[in-house]
Amino acid sequence: MAEQNFVDYVKILFRSGSGGAGSVHFLRLKGVPKGGPDGGNGGRGGHIILRGDAQLWTLLHLKYRKHIYAKPGVNGSESNSTGADGEDIIVDVPLGTVAIDPETKEKLAEITQDGEKIILMKGGRGGKGNAFFANSVQQAPDHAQPGEAGHEAWTILELKILADVGLVGFPNAGKSTLLSVVSAAKPEIANYAFTTIVPNLGIVKYRDNRSFVMADIPGIIEDAHLGKGLGTRFLRHIERNSALLFMIPCDSQNINKDYQILLHELEAYNPELLDKKRILAITKMDIVEDEWEELIRPELPVGVPHVFISAVTNKGIEKLKDLIWDMIK
């Protein structure tokens, strides 16, 4: 099931590698009984690196990896030999992944591009060997540096889906049906609330071989910001959307009131969401007569582009695509 495979939150203990110790060694060759210091430096500890992978859409592959440790650097050795660096650990994550400090809530890293690499935790530096400390005053130092310790910390990886337009509405507003009609996505569709319990993505084909990405977000209910329904857990997935498509069915008792409730829930979660461009789609128009449009039009929110659609009859679908494209291009 899709909901079992979709994971957008994991907490992992990461540890970068410690640096290798510097070496204390003196050159000893036949004919050179008192050679100078030749202890090499230790190698760097392995980094923890996040790498964006456009083929991933979930953090499922990290769900059961509670500890990820990089290797330490190798100690330095004689003949000024520097130890090998510890092997870096590369953690592939979906685009839109954010690394967060669980205690301070500070954002540590953010991956938005395929192949993008960010060092989450640097490995410890290798210690200097005794050859490094030799000078005209101290020609035979008998000490070296230990390697620098690596870093260790619990870190939250949180996925925020990247899409051009996010679908916002109450449960059973027709969001999943629309996504299934305009894209190849196959979300679960049923006539009961909270059929969609995880986000779904679909690529919508547009004119001249152009396309855009649409995200179907689980339905919001009044007081979701207080934890009702599915709460606001999935609202973070629309923080990265360029535009928001509000969807309210035509049989709503008060479309403008429902629209204001949805706006209030977004504002309670993150006021910056209200800065995004918006479109209002009145859905399920196949269940009413055409004359209904003119009757309801004066009651619609002012200043918000709107369109009347039916995913069953395809009414208004092309106009909706035009509105979305004009808003995100």
299 and 277 inside one domain: yes
Helix (H, G, I), strand (E, B) or coil at 268: helix
* Last residue of one domain, picked from the residues 134, 159, 184: 159
Q: How far apart are CA 300 and CA 294, in angstroms?
A: 11
Q: How far apart are CA 40 and CA 75, in angstroms?
A: 8
39 and 103 inside one domain: yes
Beta pairing partners, 109: 99
The strand order across the sheet containing 165-169 reads 200-205, 211-216, 165-169, 243-249, 277-283, 306-308
Provide the CA 237 distance to its chain's centre, in angstroms.
9
> Using CB atoms within 10 A of its CB, is residue 275 exposed (0-12), middle (13-18) or buried (19+)?
exposed
**Predicted pLDDT of residue 269:** 84
The strand order across the sheet containing 117-121 reads 89-93, 48-52, 117-121
Q: How far apart are CA 141 and CA 129, in angstroms?
A: 10
Domain that holds residue 28: 1-159
**Predicted pLDDT of residue 99:** 96
CATH code, 230: 3.40.50.300
92 and 187 inside one domain: no
* Last residue of one domain, picked from the residues 116, 134, 159: 159
**Predicted pLDDT of residue 226:** 66
155 and 230 inside one domain: no
- Contacts of residue 98, defined as CB under 8 A and 6 or more positions apart, other chains included, come to 107, 109, 110, 111, 157, 158, 159, 160
pTM greater than 0.85 (yes/no): no
Q: How far apart are CA 49 and CA 116, in angstroms?
A: 10
**Predicted pLDDT of residue 197:** 52
Residue length of the chain? 329
Helix (H) or strand (E) holding 281: strand 277-283
324 near 212, Cβ under 8 Å? yes
> Which tokens sit at 136?
């005209």
318 and 281 inside one domain: yes
Query: Hey, what amino acid is at 313?
Result: T
Could you please report the per-residue DSSP string of 141-208?
Answer: ----PPPPP--EEEEEEEE----SEEEEESTTSSHHHHHHHHSS------SSTT---S-EEEEEE-GG
* pLDDT tens series, the chain, 329 aa: 344 567 888 999 999 999 999 999 998 877 777 778 999 999 999 999 999 998 888 898 998 999 999 999 999 999 999 999 999 999 999 998 999 999 999 999 999 999 999 999 999 999 999 999 998 888 889 999 999 999 999 999 998 877 889 999 888 878 888 888 888 766 444 343 334 456 777 888 998 889 988 888 877 877 666 666 555 667 777 787 889 999 999 888 899 999 999 999 889 888 988 999 999 999 999 888 878 888 888 889 989 999 999 988 999 999 999 999 999 88
Task: Determine the straight-line distance between the first and last CA of the chain, rounded to whole angstroms.
Answer: 34
Report the number of distinct structural domains present in the chain. 2
**Predicted pLDDT of residue 4:** 53
154 and 169 inside one domain: no
- Tokens 């650097």 -> residue: 73
Q: How far apart are CA 29 and CA 42, in angstroms?
A: 23
81 and 185 inside one domain: no
CATH code, 48: 2.70.210.12
221 near 228, Cβ under 8 Å? yes
122 and 46 inside one domain: yes
100 and 173 inside one domain: no
In 3D, which of 93, 243, 219, 99 has the Cα closest to residue 158? 99
What is the CA angle 2-6-8, rounded to 5? 160
234 and 131 inside one domain: no
Q: How far apart are CA 88 and CA 157, in angstroms?
A: 19
* Last residue of one domain, picked from the residues 159, 175, 206: 159
181 and 200 inside one domain: yes
**Predicted pLDDT of residue 186:** 63
Widest Cα–Cα separation across the chain = 107
In 3D, which of 304, 305, 307 has the Cα closest to residue 282? 307
